[in-house]
A and B are shown apart, each in its own frame.
Chain A
Amino acid sequence: MDALSIKALKKRYGSGLEALKGITLDVKEGEFFGLLGPNGAGKTTTIGIITSLVTKTEGTIRVFGIDIDEDFSAAKRLIGVVPQEFNFSIFEKVEDIVCQQAGYYGIGRDQAQASCEKYLRQLGLWEKRRTTARELSGGMKRRLMIARGLVHEPELLILDEPTAGVDVELRRGMWDFLEKLNQKGRTIILTTHYLEEAEQLCSRIAIIADGRIIENSTKRELLKKLDRETFVFDVKANNLQIAPLEQVSFTPLDDTTLEVTITKGRSLNLVFEHLGRQGIEVDSLRNKTNRLEEIFMGMVE
């Protein structure tokens, strides 16, 4: 069954701005789905419509088969949302924010508190439960919103740029958390600006630009479209003026670092030999984690 099925969704604002120009999208149950796109492409509008914060102009949305026009309440019970911007009262305590959210879903106090404890512990916020939200760090605020989005145990979790402004270590921790949630059977939809994040987490990716879906396929299929790969070399050399090599481009980043882009199918050995001939020794190399970024930039530009 599709966890989410969007058909010909359009949104025209009063100002005349057409934010969505007919989006059709299916997310299968259990999928980890990535929705990528530049700022203003329509990602947040789409999520807004699914969660009732934005009213649609045209189109249909079904959540686990339930049409939101027929029974939005039933659909809402199945959705948990973690928005892009902080949208809790900064004067309230962490546990109050989470427990109240359960209350809005009609969950009794005891069950709400148990669920609140479960997620605050999992997200490392239990010690902060009596702290008012304004005293939390940025990363903690993000995790608070994740706990709040999960407290009613939704089948479908929608996260709108959940790791924006979160440091690397914490981001990895959040990835682990989300991967585990998905492995336990929750469908997850994620929008992100960090393409590395989408590459790490999502099994299927859609790209939205200017209110339209311009790509929708599995991550594997998408990465196949990539015809180039970029590496970063740490090198020892007196001079990084490198003679050209066919189907390879060299960009020195500083005196000891070189970015090398190779067309797929070209051997790395050729590159090493070419550099060796010019007295450049390669100490180490790493794959630049921007594979999706390259595809993405190619598509939206």
Chain B
Amino acid sequence: MIPESLICLYTISRRETTRIFRIWVQTLVPPVITMTLYFIVFGSFIGSQLSGIKGFEYMAFIAPGLIMMSIITNSYTNTVSSFFSTKFQKNIEEMLVSPTPNWVIVLGFVSGGVIRGLSVGLLVSLVSLIFIRLPLHSFVYTALFAFLTSFVFSLAGMINGIFAQKFDDISIIPTFVITPLTYLGGVFYSISLLPDFWQMISKANPIIYMIDGFRFGFLGIADMRVTTGLGMLLIFAVVLFSINLYLLKKGTGIRT
């Protein structure tokens, strides 16, 4: 006998996955095209003019960062837009009137973010193989960082979706917070190349630990301690999950 909450979770997750693949032209294709352009422009054209970083070709150095960048953006975007549109079309009420527990609603939407984040991550990784032979130092670290980062950003996207009241509200955080932090998060450079002051500032950016850890999984090199990144991700996951639960229980944006 399958527990009812698992059936609820499967239902939401299946619905989210169906949505991602139904609108694949919006969800899967654009990040692959964008990242291919990054590989061509920064990796091939510019990268070939640069000396490597920490013993790796520039292209190999930026590839994990670019993959992680697409995982972050797509996980976040998926939950924020899916939750907001569910709210906008009022079909969130389908879940609210049912006995589906709040933790299942959160995990259900987050599973959609993770599925999209990791699918895009996988596609971008495959694209990168056209340009470079990417080593895989540790599958476990690569998978752990990819999964946890995707999970954390899906949770963050859901919080944004809960508060969003109009379509503009779903793009503010990605544009003004996530994109800058990702660009400054060591995708294109090692922070060890920065002056001490900027290194210190950079270390306040959580995304830097995620990219650094993910890159360690591929290349076996890291600027920071990888376990610090893992610990941070776990703390973020617990805190953001709890905030989501609290907001759903309180009914913010969904109950009057």
Residues of chain A whose beta carbon lies under 8 Å from any beta carbon of chain B: 13, 48, 51-55, 72-74, 76-77, 79, 81, 83, 85-92, 96-97, 100-101, 103-108, 148, 152
Contact present for A100 and B97 (CB under 8 Å): no
Contacts of A83 in B (CB 8 A): 93
10 residue pairs A–B, Cβ–Cβ below 8 Å: A54-B256, A72-B99, A74-B99, A87-B93, A96-B15, A100-B14, A103-B14, A106-B3, A107-B7, A108-B7
Which 8 A-B pairs give the minimum distances between C-beta atoms? A106-B4, A103-B11, A104-B98, A87-B90, A73-B99, A51-B97, A76-B99, A89-B91
Contact present for A76 and B97 (CB under 8 Å): yes
Contacts of A89 in B (CB 8 A): 85-86, 89, 91
Which residue in chain A gives the minimum CB-CB distance to B108? A104
B172 to nearest A CB, angstroms? Answer: 24
Contact present for A53 and B97 (CB under 8 Å): yes
Which residue in chain B gives the minimum CB-CB distance to A149? B97
Q: Is B96 among interface residues, defined by CB-CB distance under 8 A?
A: yes
Contacts of B98 in A (CB 8 A): 76, 101, 104-105, 152
B73 to nearest A CB, angstroms? Answer: 23
Which residue in chain B gives the minimum CB-CB distance to A51? B97
B139 to nearest A CB, angstroms? Answer: 33
The answer to whether A104 and B100 touch (CB under 8 A), given A48-B256, A52-B255, A96-B18, is yes
Which residue in chain A gives the minimum CB-CB distance to B92? A87
- The complex places the Cα of A106 from the Cα of B90 at a distance, in Å, of 21
Binary per-residue interface labels of chain B (221-256) against chain A in the complex, 1 for a CB within 8 Å, 0 otherwise: 000000000000000000000000000000100011
The answer to whether A53 and B4 touch (CB under 8 A), given A77-B99, A91-B22, A103-B11, is no
Q: Is B94 among interface residues, defined by CB-CB distance under 8 A?
A: yes
Contact present for A87 and B91 (CB under 8 Å): yes
Contact present for B94 and A100 (CB under 8 Å): yes
- The complex places the Cα of A197 from the Cα of B193 at a distance, in Å, of 77
A251 to nearest B CB, angstroms? Answer: 43
Contact present for B22 and A55 (CB under 8 Å): no
Which residue in chain B gives the minimum CB-CB distance to A19? B256
Contact present for B7 and A87 (CB under 8 Å): no
Which residue of A55, A87, A91 is within 8 Å of B255 (Cβ)? A55
B16 to nearest A CB, angstroms? Answer: 11
Q: Is B5 among interface residues, defined by CB-CB distance under 8 A?
A: yes
Contact present for A53 and B18 (CB under 8 Å): no
Contacts of A96 in B (CB 8 A): 15, 18
Which residue in chain B gives the minimum CB-CB distance to A102? B11
Contact present for B7 and A55 (CB under 8 Å): no
- The complex places the Cα of A100 from the Cα of B18 at a distance, in Å, of 12
Q: Is B8 among interface residues, defined by CB-CB distance under 8 A?
A: yes
Which residue in chain B gives the minimum CB-CB distance to A77? B99
A97 to nearest B CB, angstroms? Answer: 8
Contacts of B101 in A (CB 8 A): 73
Contact present for A79 and B97 (CB under 8 Å): yes
Q: Is B50 among interface residues, defined by CB-CB distance under 8 A?
A: no
A222 to nearest B CB, angstroms? Answer: 30
Contacts of A107 in B (CB 8 A): 7
Contacts of B97 in A (CB 8 A): 51-53, 76, 79, 81
- The complex places the Cα of A100 from the Cα of B101 at a distance, in Å, of 15
- Identify the interface centre among B14, B89, B94, B96: most chain A CB within 10 Å of its CB: B94
The answer to whether A104 and B11 touch (CB under 8 A), given A73-B99, A148-B94, is yes
B129 to nearest A CB, angstroms? Answer: 34
- The complex places the Cα of A152 from the Cα of B12 at a distance, in Å, of 16
Contacts of A74 in B (CB 8 A): 99
Which residue in chain A gives the minimum CB-CB distance to B15? A100
B251 to nearest A CB, angstroms? Answer: 6
